[in-house]
Structures are given as C-alpha cells and as structure tokens.
Amino acid sequence: MTWGDVEILFEKLIKPATATPDPLQIFKLSFLDQTAPHSYASLLYFYHPADQDDGKTSISSAAEISERLEKSLSLVLTRFYPLSGRISLSEGGDIIDSVNCQDQGVLYRETRLNCQLNAFLKEAYEDTNLIHLLAPRKLIDNVDDLLVAPLVRVQLSKFECGGLVLSVQTLHTVGDGFTGTTFTSEWAKISRFGMMNDPRFLIFDVASSVLPTINDISRKIELFPPPNRRPQVKTVMKRFVFDEAAIARLKDEIMATNCSLLLERQPTKVEVVTALIWRSLIRAAQARHGYLRPSMTSLS
C-alpha cells in the first residue's frame, strides 16, 4: 500500500456530557500559558488485537469501541472543562488572555489504514515520519487558526488486523505532557468503570492566581512574529530502542546488587529504563562541569 493513503472515516466535535456552569466559563491564563508555543503536545497509545480482549471488558466489536470512546470522552470533559473551550484574546487583541469555556468541543476523528499494525510499526522504525499519519497534522500559523482551534484533538486509527492507535493532542497553551497523561488516565478510568461518585478533585486556576500575566509585568509579545523574524531552530530527533531482553538484563543486574535490599518490589520496565537514562545524564553533566551536580527526576 501507499503509506500516505489514510481513509478518514469521520470526524466530529465531542462536547461535555453536561454544560459548564456560567461562573466557570472564563478560564484565565498565566504568563506561562500565554507564552507557550502554539503547537500540540502529542501522546500515542498502541493496542494490538490481543490487548483489546483481556477478559475484563465486554467490548466485542469496533463499533462498540468507538461508541464507548465517544461516550466516555464526553463524560471526562465535564471534569476537564477548559479543554472543551477556545482561546480568547485580550480586549486589545494583541495577546492571549483566557479560554472561553462554552463547551465548543474537542475534535474526534476515526481513520483506517489498509495494513497490519505490526507491518506499519516495522516500517515506522525506519521512517519515523509515518507516525504523523496517526494524528491530525493541521498546524496553527496565524491568529485566526488559534481562535478556532480545538484545544484537544483525538484520532483513533484502525488497522486491518483489528489493531488500534489512539492519538491525544493537547494544545500547549493549556497543557503539557503531564496534562495529557492525566487527562487520558481519567478518560481510561471512565471508559472502563464509568463515572464514579468520588471523582478526583481538579483545580484549574492555580497557575493564573499565583503567576503574573503579561499585562501584570507590562510585557508585550507578538502572537505570530513575521516569518523572517522567527528564530530558525534546527531540531534533531533521535530514537532509543530497548528490547525485551536488554531490559530484562538490566532488571537482573539491579536485583543482583546490594541495592536490591532497599527495594520493596522489583522495578518496572519504565523505572529501569528511566534510571539508566538518568544515570547517563548525571555522568555527562559531571564530565562537562567537573563535579557532581544535584539532580532530581520524577515518574508521574
């Protein structure tokens, strides 16, 4: 097949199951939000056919999966109400000011690729640009785009084998990677268990109440500088692949040391790989600066 051939089955706007109350319809942004890049932070979740039939769910068809995703997405948006809104500008129209939370909705799209998921992943290891087929790619190039852009874009990609890839993109103005993982985690809980009576208490206005805004510090920035004035930054993308055997050896090495006596349980794959990368960064910083610098990492 031609990898560029992706069939869009449909796309729609998903709105919260219940309307956002009037007092919450203006979500003020902090300085960090106002100066964030106008791009999306993306997360991709891969599901092989076997992953969907784990004996714990009653989903038996692609149609049921779609229906459950849409319904649970609508429910979780009632908790994450700012993500259903749209960016608003200040009265002068020169800076980002807030999010208009009138339940405009998030983009939900389903697509189909006429290939096997394993075959796609094998090719994607060699050509990482193929990953872009699994998520909406429309960029935000001007103010008009920014004001109408959904703050969250979701794409469910279906493969011939029954495999699925779920892409969740969050506009950086209102969220980052942590926001995205928290959102998808709550979405997954609701999708599996339904709305619970003791929802996690979420507060969204802490940053704007603590940090100053651009108006507060009397600083003006251009929303979209002319192209010839935008910094030309060269970016490099690298991929580090840890196979199952390599991770298993790392875990065995850890458990064979005296450090294992301090562990309450065997470390997970993510913890082992994170520790290896963290150790490498510590050693690189020590070699560069000539001394051991304090550092900290966190797994959310």
Sheet containing 7-14: give its strands across.
Answer: 7-14, 106-113, 152-159, 164-171, 40-47
If DSSP codes are grouped into helix, strand and coil, which group holds residue 144? helix
Residue 34 main-chain phi, psi, to 5 deg? -65, -30
If DSSP codes are grouped into helix, strand and coil, which group holds residue 166? strand
User: Which residues span the domain enclosing 125?
Assistant: 7-229
Check whether residue 156 and residue 44 sit in a common domain: yes
Asked whether 200 and 59 are in contact (CB, 8 A), the reply is no
Output the pLDDT for position 56: 47
Strands (E), 123-214: 152-159, 164-171
* DSSP per-residue string spanning 39-102: SEEEEEEEE-HHHH--SS----SHHHHHHHHHHHHHHHTTTSGGGGSEEEE-TTSSSEEEEE-S
CA angle 254-249-48, nearest 5°? 115
Q: Is residue 296 part of a domain?
A: no
Indicate the helix (H) or strand (E) that contains 9. strand 7-14
Check whether residue 43 and residue 146 sit in a common domain: yes
Output the pLDDT for position 57: 45
Indicate the helix (H) or strand (E) that contains 113. strand 106-113
If DSSP codes are grouped into helix, strand and coil, which group holds residue 139? coil
Give the single-character DSSP code of 294.
Answer: P
Residue 49 maps to which CATH number?
Answer: 3.30.559.10
Digitized pLDDT (tens) for each residue of the chain, 300 residues in all: 444 578 899 999 999 999 999 988 888 888 778 888 888 988 999 988 865 555 444 445 778 889 999 999 999 999 899 999 999 988 776 778 889 999 999 999 999 998 999 999 888 888 888 888 999 988 888 888 889 999 999 999 999 888 999 999 999 988 877 888 889 999 998 988 887 655 454 666 655 566 666 666 655 556 666 555 556 667 777 777 888 899 999 888 888 887 767 777 788 888 889 889 999 999 999 999 999 988 887 765
If DSSP codes are grouped into helix, strand and coil, which group holds residue 156? strand
Check whether residue 253 and residue 141 sit in a common domain: no
Check whether residue 213 and residue 155 sit in a common domain: yes
Measured between its terminal Cα atoms, the distance across the chain in Å is 39
Check whether residue 145 and residue 268 sit in a common domain: no
Q: Is residue 36 part of a domain?
A: yes
Which of 231, 157, 184, 186 has the alpha carbon at shortest distance from 42?
Answer: 184
Q: Is residue 63 part of a domain?
A: yes
Q: From its phi and psi, is residue 45 left (phi > 0), alpha (psi between -120 and 50) or beta?
A: beta
CA distance 24 to 232: 39
Check whether residue 45 and residue 106 sit in a common domain: yes
Q: Is residue 236 part of a domain?
A: no
CA distance 215 to 221: 10
Q: Is residue 139 part of a domain?
A: yes
Asked whether 113 and 159 are in contact (CB, 8 A), the reply is yes
Tokens of 257: 């040391």
Q: Is residue 76 part of a domain?
A: yes
Check whether residue 215 and residue 264 sit in a common domain: no
Check whether residue 271 and residue 197 sit in a common domain: no
Write the CA distances from 225 to 118, 137, 234, 297, integer angstroms: 42, 21, 18, 35
Number of compact structural domains in the chain: 2
Amino acid making up residue 103: D
CA angle 137-142-148, nearest 5°? 70
Q: Is residue 68 part of a domain?
A: yes
